[in-house]
Structure 1
Amino acid sequence: MWEQLQFLGFRPHGPKARISLNNLSAESESAWRRQLKAAIGNNLLLKQATTELVLWFGDIAHDRSIIFAAAEVWGYQLNEAVLLLRDHPDPLVRLRVEALQGLISQAPDAAQLLLQAQAVRLALSTSSNCGAPPRTWIADAEIERLIEAEFEACAKDYGKWIPKTAASGEETHVAMLFEKLSVAFMKINNQLELLASQRKKNERLEFSLQYRIVGKYEEGLPNFDAARFSTDVCLIFEAQESSCLSFTRRASYIQAKRLHGGHEDGKTGSYPIDRLQLDNLALQTHASYLLLIGPCEVAPMPVIPVQLYLDLIARGAASTCIQPDFAASIAKSLASWLVYDVIGLWAGDPRTEVVEKAMGGPGREPYVLAKFTAKKVLVRL
């Protein structure tokens, strides 16, 4: 057992261990906990003595490792360790026992506290999707909800201004929307950095959004099998490891449509669409979408797959405009689409020719090119 305890700095004899738990991967630390549990076996007195030893004299540099080691050793009998040591005379032992109690009672961790604070700031419901499992490769439901809530607040806030600025075209609204999204990305990065420091993680996600306003020259020119490009926004998403090595790069083509007529009293307005534009988009890539710019409580800034709407036209849906209520029933919110489809890698076309076309170039540039990146960043603890 002393072989395992030396990783925490205990050395009753011999030189100091050459390896510290702080230098091991999560997988190796998990293996160390299993070895410690196996070394103790079913000896209850040894289990009690070892637990008190590590909680009392374990170096604070290994604090998190000590907490989870105690949880591993006691397993489903963890509550026995809490009852045994909760009145211990040493304050550090009592503090660590309280941490174990928090594991049992599911006390809010750093991510949950950030979500609570965010909910207060954005006036959100704290119960929304609470306890739901992760839905993307990020593999962290709290982070997914934190990102989605920030995007949704941004979309809702901007959506309220659309009826008041009805005279502006899609170009102005799209540019302003992406400007606000870039601010949301900065807020998200600040929260993820804080979360990583509280969780003692050695890496975290970082998002960046780059966009540029370019000419609309290409929209009327042919592309692939389509008579026209028919694209207002080219969205490129890239995911990178901490080594800055990209493991995917995808493009989505977006046609933006703003709400018309919603500024008039008693009228909800509608989103004018062009059937030929939709046909051209669908011919180029399955990753083509309608972005409806306007207020919507159910799905702020609705996003609809172009092929989905073409299928609905085939069964009788309007081919010249989309009503807001109908859009809300078939669309995803911009926030949900960005998190679970774009970042989650359910959306986007990885084909080289589609990505290169989205990037544009001299004489062949879409109106807006938006590129955002999710990368893992090493953290100094």
Structure 2
Amino acid sequence: MDNIFSKKVEGIEISGIRKFFNKVAEYPGAISLTLGEPDFKIPKEVKEAMKNAIDEDKTTYTPNAGILELRTAISQYLLKDSIRYSENEICITVGGSEALLCAFNALINEGDKVLIPTVAYPAYESCAKLVGAEILTYKLKEDFSIDMDSIREIIKKEHPKLLVVSFPSNPTGAVMTKLQRDELYSIVRDEDILIISDEIYSAISFENHYSISQYDDIKDKVILVSGFSKMFSMTGIRIGYICASESILKEVVKVHQYNVSCAPSIGQYGALAGLKEALYHCEIIKNEFKIRRDYVYGRLKAMGLEVELPKGAFYILPSIRKFNLTSEEFCNKLLQNKKVAIVPGSAFGIGGEGYIRISYCYSTENLKKALDSLEEFIKELTN
């Protein structure tokens, strides 16, 4: 055979986030601020529920869409943000990542146009490429909010089938304001377009959380993706969920069924206990992340970097354009010279060039060490 690989797979690359995380092993003693891996432990209630699930032999297949109790608990949890989905409009997935890929597979035909923000989490573009979509990008403003004029113009001209939004945002930390939500609604309501709203960081929002999913009259256009990796510090347990109208979810569940059959039963019972007994954990980590955010933001400003104050998630995206280095050159030099790993903005699309992403979900001690080294590096560059 001349070529045994799928062109769609060959057309994507390993995430730039993982690329720099993997490089850390080459530099013993290096500090990594690359991954979105909270340094908190899983709440004891979640741990006990998973242990009990094993002891009680709850280790068999669950329904494809997940256990009813968890879907009901998610439905009730979302109501606090005025988001209304019944248990029959929710499917439990193997993390938010599987939810995204299931949605793309269920909705997109070869050649369909998908509209993705730049900057954005790299999985959106990779998922779109895997299903053969044509990728379009829309701009963000300087404060990383949506440029609504950019969206309007592209929709009118290109007629994309699907629009992706993500708030709170990885990598920018931006959230959707009420004004932005209402403006986006006025666009979507009158256009023939679907929306995937990735809200995996919704529990870590330092301001009010607004979502396009809060509008009931466009439910047949909106697919909500979220999960428990960040809110209960259970990244390796891999439990996410997808919400959509029953007509859409029915097709999504087909993909999910043939992909994984069902999400891990033990993790589902853990997530259920989290929603019922451990929501206090979300407040603890949110308060701690806010302290870390303020510390990192203050340090970066003191270094003379242009940077927006994040309103959610646990990432910050300062500009390094004034140093006349590409973001990858900057991050490579920082790792080689100071043994600090961060992620180049180019990993998040064309709009990310000229920025670096710092994850502040690490200990204050490591943040201080890393920022001290970054400050030294910047002084050397300046001099």
Q: TM-score range by the shorter chain?
A: under 0.3
Q: Report the TM-score, using the length of structure 1 for normalisation.
A: 0.23
TM-score, normalising length: structure 2: 0.23
